[in-house]
Amino acid sequence: MQLPIDVKAVVDEATNIDEASKTPVSVTVYVDSTCTDDALACVYRAFTSTAPHARVTYRSLADALRSPYPGDDAGVIVAGLGEQVGEAAAALRAVGVPAMVVTTLPALVAEIAAANGHAIPQGDIVSAGGKQASGLARLSDTLRGKTPLSGFVYSADEEPVVLTQELEEQLLERMGAWVVAACRDKRLAFALAFPFVRRPLSLEAVGATSVQNAGVGLVVLLPGADLPVMTLNQAKMLLQIAAAYGQPMSLARVKELACVVGGAFACRSVARQLVGLVPALGWAVKAAIGYAGTEAMGRAAIEYFEAGGSCAGLADVVGRAREAVVQGASCAQAVVESVSSAARNAAATASPLGARASKDTAQGSPDSGFASASASAAQEG
């Protein structure tokens, strides 16, 4: 079968796990003596690794001021109410080391740092809880190059944040998102060394690819021209997710996956039928299905690997996710057809000619009665 995807291109684009697993990663954790125990325990668990390419060192907060190590890929400050936290973060940034400030006292830490003349960039303070900032504020931060974590607002009245299991998982995910944003050149190496980075890295791949495929559906005008581009993007995304979880893909597995992703013909077929029903919104329909299909496949792959799955069953999981999207789109098609039919009937009834036709059909009009009488008279004559 001729696949709508270049398998060799997928393999060539696949991230080299072997290379990433040999890329050295260096992190120093600086501990503020006033930090909470649960924050320190969470960071300690997160950065415990048996990967031979990872080096993690623990030092006091004062060491960040005296001798920050410029060879680090990241510095992590576990912060409490120490007055030197902001200065220590600034010292790390001054030698080119991105600094993540992990704390259960985010509002107070920010306040103290600013009061001491060393304000910490909002995106570098990572905590659990908080409230989502407005969409406009998040967009503003994104345009200014801040990390997505600056989309959370904290209140000193609700601190310290008590790390329940749910909030600890949330904190780990936000820490992982910070690493992905701040250490882009080595983010796969980080994911292979530290499991808390894997999900955020994979989610970023899903989000970026879904938006890409929505854009392809939006701008591609030639019938069928969008399919090879979308399927190549989806296959690359799935390989990136597999790589983040340390799952190497053999050529045979890549071909199997390509066959499943190539089944996007079904998604595209439903999209084409929906476009026919609502041609004025055809661009939006194609973009929505391109986005939904890609996101469903990616999130299914993430949950599969999170549960301990291997590449052997990935194709089946992705295939089921794709079929769920096709079924959902088919239901949408049925709804659109029903609404369109009802609209046509309503329009016909509301029209003067349509209303008269309906009345004539139900009761018979004077004109039709006259015509019948005339015909009878003609026959008698």
Question: Which pLDDT value is given to residue 335?
Answer: 45
Give the pLDDT of residue 45.
Answer: 97
Task: Round to whole Å and give the CA distance between 258 and 1.
Answer: 11
Helix (H, G, I), strand (E, B) or coil at 201: helix
226-244 and 265-277 are packed helices; what angle lies between their axes, rounded to 10 degrees?
A: 130
Give the per-residue pLDDT at 368. Answer: 45
145 SS3 class: coil
From the list 156, 205, 158, the residue with the least C-alpha distance to 177 is 205
Q: Is the peptide bond before 352 cis (omega within 30 degrees of 0)?
A: no
Rounded CA separation 373/381 (Å): 12
pLDDT, position 319? 79
Q: Which residue segments constitute the domains of the chain, with CATH numbers given? A: 18-191 (3.40.50), 198-342 (no CATH)
Which pLDDT score, from 0 to 100, does residue 297 have? 86
Say which DSSP state 262 is in. Answer: G
Position 153 scores a pLDDT of: 77
Residue spans of the chain under pLDDT 50: 1-5, 138-139, 141-149, 220-222, 224, 264-267, 269-283, 332-337, 339, 354-355, 357-358, 361-362, 365-381
> Beta strand 152-153 with 131-132: parallel, antiparallel or unpaired?
antiparallel
Bin 23: left if φ > 0, else alpha if -120 < ψ < 50, else beta. Answer: beta
Residue 133 DSSP label: P
pLDDT at 215: 76
3-state helix, strand, coil in the chain (%, to 5): 70, 10, 25
All residues at 6 or more sequence positions from 376 whose CB lies less than 8 Å from its CB, including other chains: none
Buried b (16+ CB within 10 A) or exposed e, 227-258: bbbbbbbbbbbbbbbbbbbbbebeeebbbbbb
Its sign, for the CA torsion 188, 256, 332, 275, is positive
